């Protein structure tokens, strides 16, 4: 169990540090950055779908009744739908959103706290299942977090925060992933079924994020060259998840 704690904490800390990615974009031309960011969004969609269908769902069916897995998958999708409705929050992956007033910046931060907390739950549950599932889930979360954090950083600046405050608040909200992971690890001593519930639940959440948040962003760019690039990036994301199957 000690190794599970070690790998989980290292992973969630690494994911939290991604919130500081905005500092590396300060010297970049913003227009060029956001043009290339769409391909990273496509790659992230591929890693999320790949992790859900190649790692999490097969693992869930091995450990649970198929009907139970189906209900947990639907529950994961439903929870993410409710969260977005409740806080009226969405990722801003490609460019700073022009319709974000200053108060909405706090809504973004609140949404990040919830989202990162769930990421921590998911990563910890993955490592409880097995090391390869934990690694695959961490990779999927990492590549989803990069475009999210760049978009959130830009939105916070647009909303009135200074660059230093935007970085600080982004990092503080990212630390909720550590809390989520520790909660799962502590509860796992008392409940062996924790991972069995969270893994298919997480898969539903990944499918929701990729299908309703990331992929619709890709449809905003219909030029042939960009479309081909998006397809290749998506396939590459799935390919990374497929390559991790050799660890199992």
Residues 120-161: tens digit of each pLDDT = 988 988 888 888 888 988 988 888 777 667 666 765 665 667
Could you list the residue range(s) of the whole structural domain that residue 182 is in?
2-21+28-247
> What pLDDT was estimated at residue 104?
52
In the chain, the number of structural domains is: 1
Contacts (Cβ under 8 Å, ≥6 apart) of 135: 126, 244, 247
pTM, rounded to two decimals? 0.69
Reported as a pLDDT band with limits 50, 70 and 90, residue 105 is low
Give the residue-averaged pLDDT of 29-37: 67
């Amino acid at each position: 169990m000690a190794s599970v704690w070690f790998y989980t904490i290292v992973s969630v800390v690494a994911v939290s540090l991604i919130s500081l990615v905005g500092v590396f974009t300060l010297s970049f031309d913003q227009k060029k950055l956001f043009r290339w960011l769409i391909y990273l969004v496509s790659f992230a969609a591929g890693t999320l779908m790949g992790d859900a269908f190649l790692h999490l769902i097969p693992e869930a069916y091995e450990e649970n009744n198929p009907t139970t897995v189906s209900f947990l998958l639907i529950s994961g999708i439903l929870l993410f739908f409710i969260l977005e409705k409740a806080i009226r929050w969405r990722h801003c992956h490609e460019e700073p959103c022009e319709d974000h007033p200053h108060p909405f910046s706090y809504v973004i931060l609140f949404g990040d706290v919830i989202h990162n907390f769930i990421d921590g739950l998911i990563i910890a549950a993955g490592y409880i299942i097995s090391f390869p599932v934990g690694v695959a889930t961490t990779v999927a979360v990492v590549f989803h977090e990069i475009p999210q954090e760049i978009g959130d950083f830009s939105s916070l600046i647009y909303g009135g925060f200074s660059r230093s405050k935007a970085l600080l608040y982004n990092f503080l909200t990212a630390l909720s992933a550590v809390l989520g992971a520790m909660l799962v690890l502590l509860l796992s001593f008392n409940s062996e079924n924790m991972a069995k519930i969270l893994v298919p639940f997480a898969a539903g959440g990944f499918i929701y994020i990729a299908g309703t948040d990331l992929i619709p962003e890709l449809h905003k760019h219909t030029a042939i060259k960009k479309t081909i690039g998006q397809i290749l990036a998506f396939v590459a994301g799935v390919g990374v998840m497929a390559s991790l199957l050799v660890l199992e």
